[in-house]
Chains A and B, each alone.
Chain A
Amino acid sequence: MTDSKLHKLILGDKQANRVVPPTGFTAQLTLFVAGAMGFLAVFALALSMASGRLADRWASELARAATLRINAPAEQRVAQTEAALEILRQTPGVATARALTGEEQAALLAPWFGSSLPAGSLPLPQLIEVTADDPGYDPSGLRLRLQAEVPGAVLDDHTRWREPLVDAARSLRRLAWVSILLIGGATAAMITLAANAALAANAQVIEVLRLVGALDSYIAQAFIRRFTLRALTGAAAGVVLGMIGVWLMPEASDEGGFLTGLGFQGWGWLVPLLIPPLGALVAFAATTRAATKRLGELS
């Protein structure tokens, strides 16, 4: 498409627009559906971005921390702890390894047993906090080595907890993307139907235009421009309403869990602004296709 054609398509040719009679009701329906789709797309986008953030956060926060638990008789505990720390210090990819103090261990148990627990008198396992470097260590290699030298050591790298959560967040994000694609597809289908209806309703007008020597591209342009603009306007209104809706949702907080984190952050607020132009693009493609097909069938 040349510059002048594009210019004409966007700004329109006032005269050319008049050759197709205005259609009040269908126009409003198209606007409404484009608006509804824009609104839904904002929420699907918010969900996808929030679940994406969640998956990343869980994956990175939990991945870096691991716990080494040493279950050994009281007399061997100190020696095994020392041995384990020594191994950890030699393992590439381990940033820090630190044995928790008695008070710290007691504090961890306090929610269950109260603070008056005589931690010192119980045969509690010794916990070692391990923080991975970037890149991290090899957990299975470390396990093998610990097994050989510190029989009472159990390495818990949180994989068990992390994977289902990260998987859940990732499938949520996938679902959100599928929804966005479906919304795009439904918009295309709806615009195609509306454009076909408009082309059929204006069969007489098209015939007269052909008789006086109008090219197919000229006739198609009148329809394409209308539907593209309607989709753009409708989607823009829907997106504005959707963004207000997302903005009114409560801030992310620990108490609210992940649900309150549903929304956009920082630059993320600019992403929904892509929805109206994309909607217009979908409408443009759908109308072009419908008009080309329909006009080709006429004599």
Chain B
Amino acid sequence: MIELENVGYNYGGGELLDAVSVQLAPGSFHFLTGPSGAGKTTLLKLCYGALTPTSGRVRAFNMDVHGLDRDQMAYLRRRVGVVHQDCRFLDHLPVIENIALPLLVSGRELNHEEANLRELLNWVGLSERAHALPPELSGGERQRAALARSVILSPDVIIADEPTGNVDWEMSQRLLQLLVELNRMGKTILVATHDLSLIRAAKKQVQARVLRISNRQLQLAGADL
């Protein structure tokens, strides 16, 4: 699905990532962990094309991400659902329209998707809050709304950046449950988190692999978690 080959990245102030190689196979579940500032978000951005590597190659769906023009990049974003750390909503539109935004911008007929949308809202437990504005939502509700938005186009890959960053344990369990269900439906999942107990909880339910960034390198973490 997504393949990083000897990827390096530097912000101009020095190397952040160096010689990172990883393959996200279809249907796999990966956690990405590491200390703050180690480059978790950067690595995720490299995966969905928001950043271009300074060295090496990123391939997504067998296309070299570097060679994509702006329109092709937009089509790529429709195949990769992303849950951002800070969610990124349009604050003047109600939750339901924010969740439907990917449908809208890809020119789908919203009337035909009405039932799907309701079902999705129900699945993330936001039916009651459908017409609230994003700033009125709690942290957990925002994360669930972001997750719903990332899967509305039924992408093959879902990338989540600290989806449980500012929610309580119960809520993070619920979010994890949603991600696990998506993985069981065959989606490829990549979750960046520094929450080790979340990873442990996940390992009980799915075959999850843990990638750790340390010293600018990506390592496959052992079973000691």
Listed in ascending order, the chain A residues whose CB lies under 8 Å from chain B are 15-16, 18-19, 21, 205, 207-216, 218, 295-296, 299
Nearest A-chain residue to B150, judged by Cβ: A212
Q: Are A208 and B88 in contact, with the CB atoms below 8 A?
A: yes
Known: A18-B97, A214-B74, A216-B71. A209 touches B82 (CB 8 A): no
In angstroms, Cα B51 to Cα A211, docked, is: 12
Q: Which of B9-17, B28-36, B59-67, B98-106 contacts A (4 or more CB under 8 A)?
A: B98-106
| Known contacts A211-B88, A212-B105, A213-B106, then 13 further A-B pairs from the complex at CB < 8 Å, ordered by chain A residue | A16-B104, A19-B104, A19-B105, A207-B88, A208-B88, A208-B101, A209-B101, A211-B84, A212-B101, A212-B102, A213-B153, A214-B74, A218-B107
Please state if A19 and B82 are interface contacts (CB–CB under 8 Å): no
B70 touches A209 (CB 8 A): no
Q: Is A211 within 8 A of B77, CB to CB? A: yes
Q: Which of A19, A208, A212, A296 has the most CB of B within 10 A?
A: A212
Judge if B149 is at the interface, Cβ distance under 8 Å.
yes
CB-CB < 8 A to A15: which residues of B?
A: 97, 104, 110
Q: How far, in whole Å, are A211 and B97 apart by their CA atoms in the complex?
A: 15
Query: In the bound complex, what is the Cα–Cα distance between A212 and B153 (angstroms)?
Result: 10
Which of A213, A295, A296 has a CB less than 8 Å from the CB of B105?
Answer: A213
Residue B93, interface by CB 8 Å: yes
Q: Is the CB of A214 within 8 A of B105?
A: yes
Contacts of A207 in B (CB 8 A): 88
Q: Select from chain B the residue with minimum beta-carbon distance to A16.
A: B104
Closest residue of B by beta carbon distance from A296: B70
Residues of B within 8 A of A21 (CB): 90, 92
Q: How far is the CA of A218 from the CA of B71 in the complex (A)?
A: 11
Is B206 an interface position by the 8 A CB rule?
Answer: no
- Shortest C-beta distance, B42 to chain A (Å), equals 13
A215 and B75 CA atoms in complex are apart in Å by 8
Considering the chains assembled together, what is the distance between the CA atoms of A160 and B78 in angstroms?
A: 76
| Residue among A16, A21, A208, A295 with most chain B CB within 10 A | A208
In the A-B complex, the 7 residue pairs with the smallest Cβ-Cβ separation, listed nearest first, are A214-B105, A213-B78, A213-B77, A21-B92, A212-B102, A215-B74, A208-B88
Residue of A nearest to B73 (CB): A210
